[in-house]
Structure 1
Amino acid sequence: MELEVRHLRALCAIADAGSLHKAARQLGVSQPSLTTQLRRIERALDGELFLRERTGCRPTPFGRTILGRARPLLAEMAALVAEARALSQGPRLRIGSTASRALPGWLRRLHRRLPDTETDLMVDVSANALLRMTASGRLDVAFVHEVEGSPLRVPAGLELRVLVEREPQFVSMSRDHPAAARAVVELRDLAADRWTVDPSVDGEWDGLRRVLAGAGLDPPLLHADYHTAASLIASGEAVAPCQPTSGLREDMAIRPLSGDPLAVRLLLATRPGVHAQVFDGVYEDLRAAYREAALETPPYRAWLRRNASPLLAA
């Protein structure tokens, strides 16, 4: 078996994710398929690359050596592909983002600002993955969320600009949940509920667990992707943290938490080589789009007024 770029990419994904399950989701393959591929790679290299533990995978000393050689190769290959595409396709802006309702307005503004530039968009649940792609040249900019208390692993060389220093995370629940009748919800109002989180969202599980533990709560946690979580919430099976800009639904209620214990920092990152003037324009368009999305959401608009947010005067 000869090693290919996809094999190196798989090894790096496992190391970065810390588990075969998370790496498989990021790569878009099944976990059994990735496990089989890893075994073949280890046989080809005649050595164990990862220690399989109850909590996940971590590289062996031999694995760290291989990863140290693989990462520069992948970065060079990504940069080569990016440069080739740029030369053949003309002006192109490659954007990465975690989920956000600001995206449509952001793209609309960018198309007006840069009418001759082709815009690509990649949405990923992993902020760390988007930052790595930006550092390697596969993306030009990335709009990401950093969960409070769980710092992102920012590759060297990236320029970061803060969009919102502390965005409160609200809670979503079924429309007939008793707490839905309140304008602001206390964590103790949700003491009897199960919470659902997507474990592939960097920092979300740890951040929620810390806040609940700090409030003396230890509820059962359900791990589910966003689409499954929405069904669980609407049916009353669980509650979940959510972005304050989340769209309203007839079968769900979105409410702020008293004291805003859950929060994220919103960041825009760019790689070296992106012209400063272009980055400035991209940032200003994102800021305007985020403000638009924030003011269109009644619960968040009310929160902004109560807290005299600068967004109201922007």
Structure 2
Amino acid sequence: MELDLRHLRMICAIAETGSVTRAAARLGLSQPALTNQLHRVEEIAGGALFVRSHAGVRPTPLGRQVIARARIVLSEIDALFGDLHGPSGTAHVVRLGCVHLACVGSVVERVGEALPGHQISLRIEPSAVLLADALAQGHLDVALVGMIEGFDVTLIAPVVSRTLIPRYPIFVALSAGHRLAERAEIDLADLRDESWISPPGADDGSLAALRAACRAAGYEPDIRYEAPSGAGRSLVAAGHGVRLVDPTWSPPEGTVARPLRGEPQAARLVVAWRRDHVSVENAQAVYRGLAAAFRDHVDDNPAFRRWWDAHPETHPFE
């Protein structure tokens, strides 16, 4: 057996989803077929690429090396065909969309540094579906899109994408006076009696994922409040409810953000762009800028910093 691009994409899909089952669904394969292919690739590589854990599958040290090199190859292949078919010129204004993450505070500056001579416009949108639609309609040139694990958002050609952060956990925000606030991590089952604030952008699967995770923990969540991303903070601080949050946010006064035991909620970040609007060179520059913006805020939450340091395989490749 010889390795080809589909095997590299398979390895990256397993790493990005953290699950053989979810990777098989993304690639349109049966789980047994993907498992067989993985075993054959591991024979060529000379060892196991992934190990199973309570949270899914994780790369071995050998697996991290293979994944890093696979991403290089796939990135070069995408760049090759982008150079052949993409635009040769550059735009003076880049219309950028971004999910509501802590890094939005650094996006304009960092992307501007990566694209000198360009103006950056920014649309902040909690819904990955609306960002994908804006790209498809040509209202945006490029976007940083968050996808809840198990609920991928369809990107329609000529939109192409590249993974920025393959997997990161979703935290839960509680009042600083909450009975569980002093714990280092929270068991989702211990939140069965809480009132929940609905996740923003529920059309991208975030609300369905919350319900599924809570059901797996043995209960149906009480989704009592609808609030935009910022508006929910005061409800949490006052002790009226809890909500899922991006882990890079520094917890607002009166609140704490804690990881969930076993990481029952996770997401990934992809940089998506229109190949007919953005050249390969500029897309790579935007990717570098967004990677820098994300890293600027890793230290905002010490709990996420610890997770980040323990998971170098999730760091963006430039």
Taking structure 1 as the reference length, what is the TM-score of the superposition? 0.67
The structure-2 alpha-carbon separation of the partners of 1:213 and 1:95, relative to structure 1 and needing over 3 Å to count, comes to same
2:261 is the alignment partner of 1:258: yes
Over the matched positions of the two proteins, sequence identity in percent amounts to 31
8 Å Cα contact 2:173-2:243 kept in structure 1 = yes
1:190-243 CA deviation, whole Å, 9 max, x = no partner?
Answer: 122111114543211101001000111213112322233212211111111100
For the residues of structure 2 that align with 1:199 and 1:111, how far apart are their CA atoms? 28
For 2:194, the aligned partner's letter is D
**Larger RCO, structure (CA 8 Å, separation 6 or more):** 2
Instruction: Look up the match of 1:219.
Output: 221
Deviation at 1:309, TM superposition (A): 5.3
Task: Please list every run of 5 or more consecutive structure 1 residues that lacks an aligned counterpart in the other structure.
Answer: 1-85
The structure-2 alpha-carbon separation of the partners of 1:252 and 1:130, relative to structure 1 and needing over 3 Å to count, comes to same
For the residues of structure 2 that align with 1:181 and 1:175, how far apart are their CA atoms? 8
Question: Where does 1:167-178 land on structure 2 (aligned, <5 Å)?
Answer: 167-178=168-179
Instruction: Look up the match of 2:46.
Output: none
Instruction: Look up the match of 2:3.
Output: none
Instruction: Look up the match of 1:294.
Output: 298
1:35-92 CA deviation, whole Å, 9 max, x = no partner?
Answer: xxxxxxxxxxxxxxxxxxxxxxxxxxxxxxxxxxxxxxxxxxxxxxxxxxx99xx711
8 Å Cα contact 1:175-1:251 kept in structure 2 = yes
The structure-2 alpha-carbon separation of the partners of 1:187 and 1:267, relative to structure 1 and needing over 3 Å to count, comes to same
2:174 is the alignment partner of 1:186: no
2:284 is the alignment partner of 1:283: no
Question: Where does 1:1-314 land on structure 2 (aligned, <5 Å)?
Answer: 91-198=92-199, 200-201=201-202, 202-222=204-224, 223-273=226-276, 274-307=278-311, 311=315
Task: Please list every run of 5 or more consecutive structure 2 residues that lacks an aligned counterpart in the other structure.
Answer: 1-88
After TM superposition, the structure 1 stretch with the greater mean CA deviation from structure 2, 110-119 or 209-218, is 110-119
8 Å Cα contact 2:211-2:221 kept in structure 1 = no
Q: CA RMSD in A?
A: 2.3
Q: Alignment partner of 1:287: what SS? A: helix
For the residues of structure 2 that align with 1:157 and 1:176, how far apart are their CA atoms? 49
1:221-266 CA deviation, whole Å, 9 max, x = no partner?
Answer: 1232223321221111111110000122220000000111101111
Number of equivalences: 227
8 Å Cα contact 1:196-1:238 kept in structure 2 = yes
Q: Rg bigger for which structure? A: 1
For the residues of structure 1 that align with 2:182 and 2:97, how far apart are their CA atoms? 37
Q: Which runs of 4+ in 1 moved over 6 A?
A: none
8 Å Cα contact 1:97-1:122 kept in structure 2 = yes
Deviation at 1:189, TM superposition (A): 2.2
For 1:164, the aligned partner's letter is I
8 Å Cα contact 1:305-1:312 kept in structure 2 = no
8 Å Cα contact 1:128-1:154 kept in structure 2 = no
For the residues of structure 1 that align with 2:317 and 2:152, how far apart are their CA atoms? 29
Q: Alignment partner of 1:161: what SS? A: strand
For the residues of structure 1 that align with 2:265 and 2:215, how far apart are their CA atoms? 12
Q: Alignment partner of 2:230: what SS? A: helix
1:6-42 CA deviation, whole Å, 9 max, x = no partner?
Answer: xxxxxxxxxxxxxxxxxxxxxxxxxxxxxxxxxxxxx
Q: Alignment partner of 2:271: what SS? A: strand
Deviation at 1:307, TM superposition (A): 4.3
For the residues of structure 1 that align with 2:160 and 2:316, how far apart are their CA atoms? 27
For the residues of structure 1 that align with 2:149 and 2:314, how far apart are their CA atoms? 20
